[in-house]
Amino acid sequence: MSKSTHEIEVEICNPEGLHMRPAMQFVDLANSFHSDISVSHQDIRADAKSIMQMTMLAATCGTRLKITAVGPDAGQAIQALRGLVENKFIDDSETAVGEKEGSV
Amino acid sequence: MEIKKGIAVSPGIAIAKPMLIDSKDYRIPRRSILPSNRAREIQRLRKAFATAISELEEIGSSQDIQRNNIQDIFAVHMRFLRDRSFRKRITDFISKELVTAEYAVSAILREIASHFAGIDDPYISERAADIYDIEKRLLVFLLGKRQEEVDHLREEVVILAGDLTPTQTAGFNKSFVKGFATEKGGRTSHTAIVARSLGIPAVVALGDMSSEVPPECVVIVDGYRGVVVIDPDEDTLSQYDQYSRQMTQFTSKLNELREFPADTRDGFHIQLMGNIEFPDEAQMVVEKGGEGIGLYRTEFLYLYGGQEPTEEDHYEAYAEAIRAVQGKPVVIRTMDLGADKLPHAGWHTNESNPVLGLRSIRYCLQSLPLFKTQLRAILRASVLGDVRVMFPLITNLQELRQARMILRDVMEDLDEYAVPYNSELPVGIMIETPSSALTAGLLANESAFFSIGTNDLIQYTLAVDRANEHVSTLFSGAEPAVLRLLRSVIQDAHKAGIGLSVCGEMASDPEFIMLLLGMGVRVLSLAPPLIPEVKKIIRSVTVEECNQLSRKVATMDSHRQIKNYLRDATTRILPETL
C-alpha cells in the first residue's frame, strides 16, 4: 500500500470542547488506523493516538485544529476523524453512523 | 555532608543506611537513585501500571459501575494508563534525572495536572482531579511495595520520612530499625512515642529533608542533640563513633541502678512502671527495673494486620505482656483511636476536627461489638495476673457509667459460659481532658484509680495541636493552667483514697520529676528505656525538697519562669541528664 499524506482543518464545535469522553472517542478512533496521525493547535503538536497529548492540547469549543495523517489509510483516517468532530462527538453509535454516512 | 537540626525526642545515636518512606498524602520528595538502579525503577513503574490497569479492569466490569457515568471516568484513566507516550514521559524522567519511580510519577503527573488546572475552561481544568486520581492509584502500589521492604528488612537502617503513621510503624521489623528522622512531628507525636518505647534514637520536625539524600549513603541520627547528619564526612563519622561509645557507657552505668529501689533519700518509695505499645516490650520493662505496666496502649492491635482484631488476637497480646511481668500490675487501656484512624471501620466521613470528634471511648460506646470483643479478652486475661482496665478520654460520669455497664454485660456473658475472670477487676480512667480534671472529685467515687495523660490534657487545656510545628512551642506542661489542673486532680484522688499515676510524657521528663513528687505523685509510668534515668533522679532527692520546689512553683506566673526554675533544680541534681 502506498504512503500518502492527508491534512484537514476542523473546528471543535461541541460546547464541552475535547472533554473526557470526546477526547477518548477521538483517540480511540485514531488508534483504529495504521497511519501516524497528529493534531496541531497553533504551534503545539500532539499525537492523536495519545490521550495525554490530546487532552493537553486543551481544545475548547471554537478551537481550530489541523489534523495530519501519514500512512496507508491516511485518507480514511482524516475522513473519519472529521466526521466525529463535525458531528459533535455524538456517541450514540447508530445515530453517529447514520449522520456520518450522510455527511461523507 | 548535610546537617539538619530538629527536635530530639528519643535519646541515643544511630549510624546506618537510610530507608526512605513516603506517604501518598504528602508531596513525594525527590529521591535519587544510582545509574545502575535505573532498570529496577523502570521495572517497578511497569508493574505499577500493570497493577493499576488490572484494578481498573476489575472495577470497570462490576455491575453498578457499568450503568453509571463513573464508567467514563475509569475509561479515561484506563486510556491514560495505556498511553505509551504518557508512560514514556515518566520512564524518560527516571532515566534522565535518576530518581525513584514514585518521585517521577508524582512529578510528571503533577506537571500535567497543573497544566490542566491552569486552563481557563471549567471542563478542562476539572480534569486535573482525574490526573491526581491516576497519580494516587500508581503511588498506592509503589509506596505499598516500599512499605513491604521496610516490613521485611534484612539490614540495619534509620528511617527517614515525612511523618510516620501508626500503621506504618506497626509493621516495621524492629530489630533492624536503628533510628527515626522525620520532617514533621513534635515531642509527643506517634514517631516519638514509638521510638522512646523501642529505645531507639529519634529526631523530628527536621523540615524539608527531601533535597538530595544521596543513594547508598550513611545517616547519623543524634537523639541527644536533635541533629541528623546526611552523608557525613570521615571526621564527623569518627567523632560520632566515639560520642556514641561514651553515651553507651553512661547508659550502662544507669542500668546498674536496676537492682536498687526507686526510693528518695528520705525513704519514700516511688513506683516506676512502663508504658508499652507492643507486648514484646513488657520484657524491656522488667529489664529496666519497672514495677509493672502502667499503660498498655492497645491501638497497635487495630492498626496491624488489615482486619479487626479477634478476641484471640487481643487475648494473646495481653497474656504475653502479663506473663512477662510475673505478677506485677498491668493496666490495659481500651482502644484509644479516632474513627478516622481505624482502617477497617468503613468510616468515610471526613471530620472537620477529629481530635474533638468520634474517637476513643466515644467510638467504643457507639461500636459495641468492637468494644465488647476487647473487654471480653481483657476479662479472660484478668485471671493471669494483676490486671486492671482503664478507659481513655472520659469527659463525664455518664460515659464512665456507660462503659462500666457494658463491662458488666460482658461479665454476665462470660458467667453464662462459665468462663473464669476476675470479678473484682479494678476499673480506672485516664484523666486527659479539662472536664474530667475539673470533675475528678465526682469521677473518683466510681473509679478505682486515675492515670493522668499529660499529653492530651495539655493539648485540650491549652488548645494546642502538639504535632503542628507552627504552634508546638505553645505546648508546655509548665503552663500554670496545666499545673493547676494537675494539682487539683492529685488532691481529689488522695481525698477519695484511690490510686493515682501520671503516664504522660511529663512522667519521663527529668525536669518535671521533682515537681510531680512535690505535688504528691507516687506512681509514674513511662517509656521503659527512660526508667533508669528517672530512678536516678528519685534516688538523688528528698520529698521534703520536692515539696518546697512545688510550693515555690505554685507562686510563679509563667511557663518560662517555671521551666527555667525546674531546669536549674534538675541540673543541680543530675547534670548529665540535661
Known catalytic residues of B? 190, 503
CATH classification code of B1-259: 3.50.30.10
What's the pLDDT tens digit per position in B15-25? 998 888 776 55
Q: How far apart are CA B453 and CA B95, in angstroms?
A: 51
Q: How far apart are CA B528 and CA B432, in angstroms?
A: 21
Please give the residue of chain B at the shortest CA–CA distance from A24: B76
* pLDDT at res. B577: 54
Model confidence band, residue B349 (pLDDT cutoffs 50, 70, 90): low
Could you tell me what percent of chain B has a pLDDT over 90?
Answer: 57
Per DSSP, helices labelled H in B306-452 are 311-324, 360-366, 368-381, 397-416, 434-438, 440-444
Cβ pair A47:B85 closer than 8 A: yes
Shortest distance between the Cα of A79 and any Cα of chain B, in A, equals 23
**Which range has the top average pLDDT, A88-97, B156-165, B349-358, B561-570?**
B561-570
The count of domains in chain A is 1
Domain limits for position A34 = 4-103
Average pLDDT estimate for B138-156:
80
Q: What is the CATH number of the domain that holds A63?
A: 3.30.1340.10
What's the pLDDT tens digit per position in B502-531? 998 899 999 999 999 999 999 999 988 889
Q: What is the DSSP string of B237-276?
A: HHHHHHHHHHHHHHHHHHHGGGGS--B-TTS-B-EEEEEE
pTM exceeding 0.80 = no
Which of A:9-28 have CB within 8 Å of B?
16-21, 23-24, 27-28
> Can you name the CATH fold of B268-577?
TIM Barrel (3.20.20)
* pLDDT at res. B82: 93
Q: Which residues contact B49 (CB under 8 A, 6 or more apart)?
A: B81, B87, B138
Range B48-53, long-range pairs (CB < 8 A, 24+ positions) = B48/B101, B48/B105, B48/B138, B48/B141, B48/B142, B49/B81, B49/B87, B49/B138, B51/B141, B52/B81, B52/B134, B52/B137, B52/B138, B52/B141, B53/B78, B53/B81, B53/B82
Cα B273–B402–B396 angle (5° rounding)? 70
A45 and B CB contact within 8 Å: no
pLDDT at B499 over 70: yes
What's the pLDDT tens digit per position in B80-108? 999 999 999 999 999 999 999 999 998 99
Number of residues that make up chain B: 578
Query: What crossing angle do the helices spanning B84-97 and B70-82 adopt, rounded to 10°?
Result: 50
Q: Find the CB nearest B86 among A17, A20, A50.
A: A50
* pLDDT at res. B576: 64
Test the B interface: residue of A50, A57, A88 with most B CBs within 10 Å:
A50
Nine-digit cell string for B102? 514514585
**Domain positions in chain B:** 1-259, 268-577
Range with the poorest average pLDDT among B174-188, B282-296, B372-386, B530-544: B174-188
Shortest distance between the Cα of A36 and any Cα of chain B, in A, equals 14
Model confidence band, residue B255 (pLDDT cutoffs 50, 70, 90): confident
